[in-house]
Amino acid sequence: MLESSGGGSSSSSILFESPDKSVVVMDIPRSIEEAQVLPGKATDTARRLRLVSARPVEKPWPTPEPRDGGGGSDGITMSMSHSAAIAELMTLEAVRVALDTVRSSYSGPWCLPRVVLGESTGSGDGGGDSGINEDDGENDRSEKRGKRHHPPSLSMDEEGKEEADVAIAVSSSELVRNGQHKQQTSTENASSTQSLTPSLTPPPLPDHQTPFLIPERSHHLLGTISAQRSAFLATALAFDLIVLDPPWPSRSARRKRKNHSRNHHPSSPSSNSGYATVRDVQGARALLSQIPIASHLKPDGLVAIWITNKAAVADLLFAPSPSPSTGTGAQPPLWGDFLEPVGEWIWLKVTAAGGEPVVDPEARWRKPWERLVIARRMGSRVSLSGTGSGSGSGNIDHNSSSNSNNSSSNSNAPTSAPSSSSSSYQRRVILAVPDVHSRKPNLRGLFADLNVLPEGYAGLEVFARNLTAGWWGWGDEVLRFQERRHWVDEDG
């Protein structure tokens, strides 16, 4: 039985890895802590700074099923298309295989010790991410339990600030504690959003007064997509990897914001206040269409996007979808004309006590996973199927055709069953104990582990909630978890 990473990963956030790298046990807070410094630069600062987290969930959450008693894999096809049902069954099978793998090969911890402040012990259920998929229909009981266990110190922001049109562009040097940044409204001249020069940067404040921790060589654009699009076009380079975590339609998130507004004073911070989402899939299309991915993705670059378990979400990206006015198949896929899926990573949320899924994987209304769909440019030969030669030059898919422009024939689309003969499509299951709501694993180490991108590659995270050293971040919550109140200095 392996006690630690079985794949030789240099990342301490990867607790276990199968030989083929298809199954990973990962610690979410540690992955974000590691991302605060450049790869291979384990500074004293990185070792001392710890991210404040939610108490680990110890046992699965109760999940009510429909009154008719339906559920399980035999009921999957009742409420979704044939292709979506096949995709869900394949995800379920990948999860089963991953669970069998770790149970037979790993006996170590499911998460590392966490820094938890201001939290009552409660019943021990824990887990700040009470919203399982950020999908519609999350039960109120889970939300109430999540509120009870959220540390009051894990305040995110004040109600109403999530939509602030604030324009900021900052270039930092080291993992600094001066945290100074210049804010402008979106109506100011675009030149004012250029990176601050040392002559314009105020003198560093004492440690106890600094509001943010800014990682080395990170750049961020703070504001909505529409407010910062011009600044991005004027200053951003081309990227090897673009990661997106969009605010998909979610009644539960809107309900949390409404409850927070009703139960808290506007200036009262709360870690469970929810976050701004688009109202429907068409709103998501309009939002994502503003992001200039095609013009800022390198020829062999990758796009990785977190999606919900709704078939309509994946169809929006890569498959034709019905017109909202006629209900017929009239809308082309948003990215289907220049991107093709090459992989899907499944974040399986598990308990800290025994690595059990936080929800029965066969439950109809809830799923214990979130999916990350990874795509490449049409005609690109970059592949996730192998582990690379170690050169950092990426893996080549020799079956790729530069003429594969027809998205409707793409058997790898995430709502369809990938071709069993496709050597370029990778499914990877990441088992991790959930943290505070909306906090995802940092992906830098996972991509570096596969050796599919150039050494020192350029990364961009859109809709980011924290920064990564060496990357760009863009979104109206990009500094959310960079505030000093979310970090503890172990050396005092």
Lookup result for tokens 């095609």: 294
What pLDDT does residue 214 have? 95
- Above 50 in pLDDT, residue 222? yes
Token pair, residue 434, equals: 């959930």
Which of 67-76, 124-133, 160-169, 324-333 has the weakest average pLDDT? 160-169
Contact 430, 26 (CB under 8 A): yes
- Which residues lie closer than 8 Å to 470 by C-beta, 6 or more apart? 38, 39, 215, 216, 217, 218, 456, 458, 459
Token pair, residue 355, equals: 């690595």
Which of 56-70, 75-89, 90-104, 356-370 has the weakest average pLDDT? 75-89
Lookup result for tokens 């993705």: 297
Tell how strand 487-489 and strand 49-51 pair up: antiparallel
Please report the DSSP string for 184-243 in residue order.
Answer: EETTS-GGGGSPPPGGGSPPPPPGGG--B-B-TT-EEEES-HHHHHHHHHHH---EEEEE
What pLDDT does residue 45 have? 52
Dihedral sign from CA coordinates of 375, 381, 382, 384: positive
Tens-place pLDDT, residues 368-381: 999 999 999 999 98
What are residue 350's DSSP bridge partners?
357
8 Ramachandran zone, left/alpha/beta (phi>0; psi -120 to 50): left
Tens-place pLDDT, residues 107-163: 999 999 999 976 543 334 455 555 444 343 333 333 333 333 333 333 333 333 333
Contact 103, 25 (CB under 8 A): no
pLDDT band for position 43 (cuts 50, 70, 90):
low
Q: For 84, what's the count of Cα atoms within 13 Å in the CB-facing half-sphere?
A: 17
What pLDDT does residue 301 have? 97
How far, in whole angstroms, is CA 305 from its chain's centroid? 8
Cα Rg of the chain, angstroms: 22
pLDDT band for position 364 (cuts 50, 70, 90):
confident
What pLDDT does residue 284 have? 92
What pLDDT does residue 417 have? 38
Print burial letters for 122-148: b (CB count within 10 Å at least 16), e (below 16): eeebbbbbbbbbbbbebbeebbebbbe
**DSSP state, 420?**
T
Arithmetic mean of pLDDT, 55-82: 68
Distance, CA of 457 to CA of 448 (rounded, Å): 9
Distance, CA of 35 to CA of 26 (rounded, Å): 14
Distance, CA of 212 to CA of 181 (rounded, Å): 9
CATH architecture for segment(s) 14-489 = 3-Layer(aba) Sandwich (3.40)
Q: How many other C-beta atoms are found inside a 10 Å radius of the C-beta of residue 310?
A: 18
The domain segmentation of the chain, as residue ranges, is: 14-489
Torsion of CA 55, 56, 58, 60, to 10 degrees: 110
- 1-15, 33-47, 195-209, 303-317: which has the highest mean pLDDT? 303-317
Lookup result for tokens 């109202």: 279
Token pair, residue 183, equals: 């804010």
Distance, CA of 133 to CA of 481 (rounded, Å): 20
